[in-house]
Amino acid sequence: MSILVNETTKYYGEQRALDNVSFEIKKGEIAGFIGPNGAGKTTCMKIITGLIPQTSGKVKINGDDIINNSLSIREKIGYLPENNPLYIDLYVREYLAFVAGIYQIQNKWQRIDEIINITGLTSEQKKRIRQLSKGYRQRVGIAQALLNDPDVLILDEPTSGLDPNQIIEIRDLISKAGKEKTVLLSTHIMQEVEAICDRIIIINNGKIVANDKKKDIYAKASGDITIVVEFDREIQEAELLNINNVTQVKDMKNKTWLLQCPAGKDIRNEIFSYAVMKGYTVLSMQKKEKNLETVFQELTKKA
């Protein structure tokens, strides 16, 4: 089951929250949906889940229009909202039984037992939700999103409030779900996106500024190349600026420098040749690879 968002725009009064947004996520794909605060991520997710209508454009789930088939499509979607609204006076099992009733799940207690085990809620299942830590409340939210075994999983900040061990467990859970489902994951944790997502979609000011496979997304950034060099002695900044194509240098102390050069230039040979000419020894030299955080900063600032 796929998600197709086609030329979708959303206005709140005169404010444009989404501007002609288009992307597609296929079955078995986990897509990371990232952007600055207020970029339009949550609005887009609410439209996909049928909670609010778009102003214009089309949103389809497995070919079915979300406006014309809202109820039947919602049955196939699991959704964890950003604020994770819960009935905190209910017990964990009681709350999940309430959700199971809405979906009219057969053998609901068996399914509840399964999902409690999957989400690591076994030790907390007999507590009221108000008694749970933020991390365990988040697990309850994920449990309700998975309870109906949805074809499409929409997760808005699913690991918010979790400790590092819990984050790893939830990542594994999402990764396993992504093998059979279509997953759209919004998060501010770049390492999370790099760890589990197949596709990365970056949105800024309501517009998509990048949408590509993870392996291709790093090519979207065109900033300077950075080389980290450690010498055997102290060197003056002016000397390093004399190396061909070096545009900027930064002293990292302990005889280590960051050297920048234009995109498409690899100055490691020039650095080594310059050191040999001067009688210096290069103890280590490394080209810093771009990561998702670098791409994100460049594209959102540029936009």
For the chain, the straight-line distance linking the first and the last C-alpha, in angstroms and rounded, comes to 32
pLDDT at 260 over 90: no
238 half-sphere exposure, CB direction, 13 A CA radius: 0
Q: Say which DSSP state 11 is in.
A: E
pTM, to two decimals: 0.78
Tell which wins on pLDDT, 290 or 91: 91
How do residues 167-223 score in pLDDT, each as one tens digit? 888 888 888 878 889 999 999 888 889 889 989 999 999 999 999 998 788 766 656
Q: Say which DSSP state 289 is in.
A: P
* Average pLDDT along the chain: 90
How do residues 117-162 score in pLDDT, each as one tens digit? 988 899 999 999 999 998 899 999 999 999 999 999 999 988 877 8
Rounded Cα gap, residues 285 and 112, in angstroms: 54
197, 31 Cβ separation under 8 angstroms? yes
pLDDT at 289 over 80: no
Cα 218 to Cα 36, 191, 259, 260, 265: the distances in Å are 18, 14, 20, 18, 16
At 14, the amino acid letter reads E
Residue 287, phi then psi, degrees to nearest 5: -85, 120
Q: Which domains does the chain have, with CATH numbers?
A: 3-219 (3.40.50.300), 221-302 (3.30.70.100)
How do residues 47-106 score in pLDDT, each as one tens digit? 999 999 999 999 999 889 999 998 889 889 999 998 899 999 999 999 999 999 999 999
Question: What residues contact residue 242 under an 8 Å CB cut-off, 6+ apart?
Answer: 274
